[in-house]
Structure 1
Amino acid sequence: MRYLFLAILVVQALEIGVLIWSGRTIGVPLTVLLIILTGVLGAYLAKKEGLATLQKLQDNLRRSMMPGDALLDGVCILVGGTLLLAPGFVTDAIGFLLLAPPTRKFFKARLYRFLKRKLDKGSITIFR
């Protein structure tokens, strides 16, 4: 959590730089159009992947299996969809990486290790 503020500042500075560069390179109207297009495409992908993950979660629960993998998918899809709604190309790129199933595996593995480490240390408790 201590690096979250710094990460937000760095990402926003990168966003501003990339948007200025893009506006100068391809023009402002095309830059705005690309931002709108990535937002619409991102919303579609988030809905599609989110519904598939919800179906997987329900199937796991019907079979009395723990839906851990589906829950991690859901977290990645939620964060990815949120990033795609934010205007900018850097957040869009990260959002698309979180939504695409092949690259989502990488983020899920990192999230799983992070949560496991926090649970092992006692930083996060499930039951109080």
Structure 2
Amino acid sequence: MRLFLLFLLVPLIEIALFIQIGGFIGLLPTLAIVIITAVLGTMLVRSQGLAVMNQVRGSFENLNDPTEPLAHGAMILFSGALLLTPGFFTDAVGFALLVPGIRGKVYRAIRSRINVQSFEYGTAQRPPQDDSIIDADYEDLDAPRPKGPSGWTRH
């Protein structure tokens, strides 16, 4: 029922805002604002998305909990979708989700409602490095070759 209300209320809010703002500043400035916010939002989403991807990669490399950077990445992705959707309300929410402090508060609010029972990392053991060993494949060129088709063609 909440999702139905969301899908009903958001377009109504957008239509009301378009009518109010369009009546106040005119059609062309209203359309220009929508296009400018989409372009600006795309640039911000791209830069922040790359930064968060580096944080996710770093948390995996250091075997830290990647939950928060992944959640921030999901919120940035969602904000990008909101910023590409024409409208003033969706743009406001999209730009709000690009602010790291707001994303942190949203993350903490969501995390407080989720109960994680257990969380474990696997331990990956790397073999010791020996510089005198070279790992390679080889083919003996002096070995007798089978006669007949190469196997790449059918008869």
Q: Does 1:107 align with 2:106?
A: yes
More helix by percentage: 1
Q: TM-score, normalised by structure 1?
A: 0.86
Amino acid paired to 1:36? I
1:97 to 2:106 alignment: no
Q: Distance in 1 between matches of 2:65 and 2:39?
A: 33
CA contact (8 A) 1:38 1:84 kept: yes
Identity %: 36
Q: Distance in 2 between matches of 1:96 and 1:43?
A: 11
| Residues 76 and 107 in structure 1, CA contact (< 8 A), matched pair in contact too | no
Alignment of 1:37-76 (within 5 A): 37-76=36-75
Letter in 1 for 2:7: I
Task: Give 5+ residue unaligned stretches, structure 1.
Answer: 121-128
Greater RCO, CA 8 A, separation 6+: 1
Aligned length: 117
1:86 is aligned with what amino acid?
T
Note the C-alpha offset of 1:113. 2.6
Q: CA deviation at 1:68?
A: 0.8
What's the CA shift for 1:111? 2.3
Correspondence for 1:126: none
Deviation at 1:99, TM superposition (A): 1.1
Q: Structure 2 length as normaliser, TM-score?
A: 0.72
Taking the aligned partners of 1:71 and 1:33, their CA distance within structure 2 comes to 33
- Moved >6 Å (runs of 4+): none
Give 1:88's aligned amino acid.
Answer: G
In structure 2, list runs of 5 or more residues that go unmatched. Answer: 118-155
- The aligned amino acid for 1:5 is F
In 2, the alpha carbon distance for the partners of 1:103 and 1:64 equals: 26
The 1-side partners of 2:10 and 2:112 are apart by: 24
Matches within 5 A, 1:1-40: 2-40=1-39
1:82 — aligned with what? 81
Offset at 1:71?
0.7
**Structure of greater Rg:** 2
In structure 1, C-alpha distance between the alignment counterparts of 2:33 and 2:77, rounded to whole Å: 22
